[in-house]
Chains A and B, each alone.
Chain A
Amino acid sequence: MANDITKNRKAILVTPENCIGCRACQVACKSWNQLPGIKTKNNGTYQNPPDLASAAFNIIKFSEVPSQENPVRWLFLSRRCMHCEDAGCMAICPAPGALYRTAEGAVAFDHDKCISCKLCVNACPFDVPRFDEEGKVSKCNLCADRIGAEMQPSCVKTCPTGALKFGDRNELISAAKKEGFATIYGENDLGGLGTIYAFKDKPKLYGMIENPTIPSSVIFWHSYLKPLSLFGLGGVVAAAALHYLAIGPHKEEEEKKEEV
């Protein structure tokens, strides 16, 4: 499933501690990707829209957790596609080119090549892909067009606090480690994520999944059923050829001649 780890693999480093929940990143993403607004209802939280959507490639998750010093602690977590190295979405997708890897290691999508089967979201450990009115895949592509032109992703560029950083993946990780963050979420998960998080607290506190994995049925299918479907056919054709040469077809000629 792994592709070659590109030497210049780029990543977004999220440092939730520095996030002030301003959601400028949400606006910047919409603006660059020309995504329409979504009508939502107030459901008692600042989190809006409530989840990723075909017109919302990133959101800030707001969560309230118990705290010792204060009545409550308010946590902000920037969520988007993780640009997994072992990307379940790419593995399961039956349409070539609908999801593809860019030179920077991002998982981008091609609206026209998507066949709207919605398999990808079911193989994604992070429930990321969403679908537009035509049923076509729609998600963060790490601003493939911008980073391809040596620009920063729109959300990163606009972030006023440095909670979002973009750059060489290895450099981001070592810098965060130097700053003393206990956990770099995504350093090794799924072959290494392209959206990584620097945490002092337990990632779980922020609602991150522990040990994200591609569904086992998808892994089984990819590593056993796909090869079996090829070797099965090849084996039968080879066996038939062998049978034909070594043993040969049923011969009815002799009997037939007697009866004619």
Chain B
Amino acid sequence: MAEMIRKSSVDEIVNHWILAGSCILLMITGYAFLFHVESIGSVLGGFNTMKTVHNWLGVVFVLSLLYSMRHYLRDALEYDADDKQWFKVAGGYLSHKVKVPPMGKYNPGQKLYYLVILVFGIVIAISGFGIWFMKDNMTVMLISHLVHNIAFCVFVIAVPVHIYLGTLANPGTFKIMVSGTMPLSEAKKKHPKWIKSVGKV
């Protein structure tokens, strides 16, 4: 057995799956509202229950999102020269021949992804609460409805990219979100600056 290093704490893993589960269910029920997908509605016992489910999942989602700030926000706000270089080589995703610069705990793609989810997550939640609770204010309703759906478009693009990169595109990464650990040897290669900062070299 290779020596492992902990990348994600237990509460981070639990929170990630609460966030991911609520988000995906929100997206599925969201699509059902948008395109009148009756089969999704009937799984939940009709659109009336689905509305309740969607609304309260929204509460779960936003609480989980706010909690996730303690895990990712500080990293997500720091970028260095290597991160710039990472974008120049497209993270090594468009060719395996380029040299990917040494990374910290997260690559800038992941960091930006986090900021996008955080910002648009808060936006979709606020607009969702607008539709939910401000029914008698036409301006709030129309703006919320528009903004909720703009944010939705961001989610349906960003989330599947994330899922692909977290599974098929980077074999082994998925295990981080299950066990919280990754092989130290691999971490030294992929995240040398992080390993250095935690003193494992």
Instruction: Identify the A interface with B (CB < 8 A).
Output: 92, 94-96, 98, 113, 115-119, 121-123, 215, 217-218, 220-221, 225-226, 228-230, 232-233, 235-237, 240, 243-244, 247-252, 255-256, 259-260
User: B164 touching A240 by the CB < 8 A rule?
Assistant: yes
What is the bound-complex CA distance between A250 and B96, given in angstroms?
7
User: A115 touching B47 by the CB < 8 A rule?
Assistant: yes
A59 CB to closest chain B CB, in angstroms?
20
User: B142 touching A250 by the CB < 8 A rule?
Assistant: no
What is the bound-complex CA distance between A154 and B169, given in angstroms?
65
User: A250 touching B169 by the CB < 8 A rule?
Assistant: yes
Query: Please, which residues of chain A bring their CB within 8 A of the CB of B36?
Result: 94-96
B153 CB to closest chain A CB, in angstroms?
5
Q: Which 10 A-B pairs have the closest CB atoms?
A: A94-B33, A96-B36, A259-B185, A118-B135, A240-B164, A217-B146, A115-B51, A236-B160, A233-B156, A232-B157
- Range class of the B interface residue count: 35 or more
User: A250 touching B47 by the CB < 8 A rule?
Assistant: no
B8 CB to closest chain A CB, in angstroms?
19
What is the bound-complex CA distance between A225 and B8, given in angstroms?
36
Q: B93 at interface (Cβ–Cβ under 8 A)?
A: yes
Interface residues of B in 31-65 (CB under 8 A from A): 31, 33-36, 38, 41, 47-48, 50-51
What is the bound-complex CA distance between A233 and B149, given in angstroms?
14
Q: B11 at interface (Cβ–Cβ under 8 A)?
A: no
Query: Please, which residues of chain B bring their CB within 8 A of the CB of A221?
Result: 145-146, 149
What is the bound-complex CA distance between A230 and B170, given in angstroms?
26
A72 CB to closest chain B CB, in angstroms?
33
User: A255 touching B161 by the CB < 8 A rule?
Assistant: no
A229 in complex: contacting residue of B48, B156, B185, CB < 8 Å: B156
A122-B141, A233-B157 are known contacts. Are A249 and B48 too (CB-CB below 8 A)? no
B1 CB to closest chain A CB, in angstroms?
10
Task: Classify the interface of chain A: helix, strand, loop or mixed.
Answer: helix
User: A220 touching B171 by the CB < 8 A rule?
Assistant: no
User: B186 touching A220 by the CB < 8 A rule?
Assistant: no
User: A260 touching B2 by the CB < 8 A rule?
Assistant: yes
B153 in complex: contacting residue of A115, A228, A248, CB < 8 Å: A228
From A235, which residue of chain B is reached at the shortest CB distance?
Answer: B157
User: B94 touching A247 by the CB < 8 A rule?
Assistant: yes
User: B157 touching A217 by the CB < 8 A rule?
Assistant: no
Beta-carbon contacts of B126-167 to A below 8 Å, as 1s and 0s?
000001000110100111011001101100110011001000
B2 in complex: contacting residue of A121, A123, A220, A259, CB < 8 Å: A259
A217 in complex: contacting residue of B35, B145, B169, CB < 8 Å: B145
Q: B95 at interface (Cβ–Cβ under 8 A)?
A: yes
Query: Please, which residues of chain B bring their CB within 8 A of the CB of A247?
Result: 93-96
A3 CB to closest chain B CB, in angstroms?
14
What is the bound-complex CA distance between A237 and B47, given in angstroms?
27
User: B38 touching A96 by the CB < 8 A rule?
Assistant: yes
What is the bound-complex CA distance between A240 and B161, given in angstroms?
7
From B186, which residue of chain A is reached at the shortest CB distance?
Answer: A252
What is the bound-complex CA distance between A229 and B159, given in angstroms?
12
Query: Please, which residues of chain A bring their CB within 8 A of the CB of B136?
Result: 118
A118-B135, A225-B150 are known contacts. Are A243 and B169 too (CB-CB below 8 A)? yes
What is the bound-complex CA distance between A80 and B31, given in angstroms?
32
Beta-carbon contacts of B163-201 to A below 8 Å, as 1s and 0s?
010001111100000000001011001000000000000
